[in-house]
Amino acid sequence: SSESEALAIAVRQCRSAGGPNCKATGAWSSGCVYITVGSNTRGAGWNSSADYDETLRKCRASGYNCKPPIGGCIN
């Protein structure tokens, strides 16, 4: 897959999950990235970082009940 295909797939998956303002902000060819979403009675949000535990910590620190991060590393 090309980078443009990967970005298009990401936006489609976001929209199919109900995301109203989906946009892909970039693609990675090396390194690590994890992302999580969370919600509380006031709303929802997301967090990301290069580390699984840091991503979850940042989400929880924002006051959200967070889902397990998804992502990984590529070289």
Cα of first residue to Cα of last residue in the chain, in angstroms, is 16
Task: Round to whole Å and give the CA distance between 61 and 1.
Answer: 36
Confidence of residue 7 (pLDDT cuts 50, 70, 90): confident
Pairing of strands 43-49, 65-66: unpaired
pLDDT of residue 64: 94
pLDDT of residue 1: 55
Higher per-residue pLDDT: 39 or 27: 39
**Extended beta strands in the chain, E state:** 31-40, 43-49, 65-66, 70-74
The 10s digit of each residue's pLDDT in 49-65 is 999 999 999 999 999 99
